[in-house]
Amino acid sequence: MCQLASFRERCPKTARAVDALGTDLFETPFSFCFFSTLHGGAKIAPHSGSMNLRLRVHLPLIVPKEYNNVEKIGFRVGGQHRTWEEGKAVVLDDSYVHEVWNETDEPRVCLLVDIWHPDVTKEERESVKDMFSYAKHMDWLK
């Protein structure tokens, strides 16, 4: 469930759509939901997520008109190069090394939402949530 009141106030339709996913991954520190803007000429160097409990959904909202030119704008996950198309979600496992670039003059904006990796069982999900609930209870997490 979308936790931030300010996000709900500013983006009520988006918050409702994210809530409709029904993901309880947001009960852990492993999940994020945010708008990602990559301005023209920007790059995000190769990096990877810290674990593979989640998948990251990219929903492209604004994509430069050169979207079909992966040399100009796109991302690489593992050895695969891809680009975005407005309104068409892309799902990736960010535990693999990935990078992003925008060599156009326009911004690219995506809604990024994390969901549970489908290989994580219900029991494993509950254990992860219980672990973080306990850590919060012990005041180990803020």
Q: Is residue 23 part of a domain?
A: no
pLDDT confidence of residue 16: 87
pLDDT confidence of residue 4: 66
For the chain, where are the E strands, in sequence order? 33-38, 42-47, 54-62, 73-77, 80-82, 90-92, 98-102, 108-116
Kindly report the pTM of this predicted structure: 0.84
Residues 6+ apart with CB under 8 A from 27: 129, 132, 133
What are the φ and ψ backbone dihedral angles of 20, each rounded to 5 degrees? -65, -20
Q: Is residue 11 part of a domain?
A: no
Taking phi over 0 as left and psi of -120 to 50 as alpha, with beta for the rest, 22 belongs to left
Q: Is residue 66 part of a domain?
A: yes
DSSP class of residue 12?
Answer: H
**Residue 65: CATH number of its domain:** 2.60.120.330
Q: Is residue 57 part of a domain?
A: yes
Q: Is residue 8 part of a domain?
A: no
Residue 84's domain comprises 28-137
Pair of tokens at residue 62 = 């604004």
Q: Is residue 53 part of a domain?
A: yes
Residues 6+ apart with CB under 8 A from 139: none
pLDDT confidence of residue 1: 47
Q: Is residue 70 part of a domain?
A: yes
Q: What is the pLDDT along the chain (142 residues), one digit of tens a residue?
A: 445 678 888 889 988 888 888 777 777 777 888 899 999 999 999 999 888 899 999 999 999 987 778 899 999 998 899 999 999 999 999 999 999 999 999 999 999 999 989 999 999 989 988 998 898 889 988 7
The domain tally of the chain equals 1
pLDDT confidence of residue 141: 80
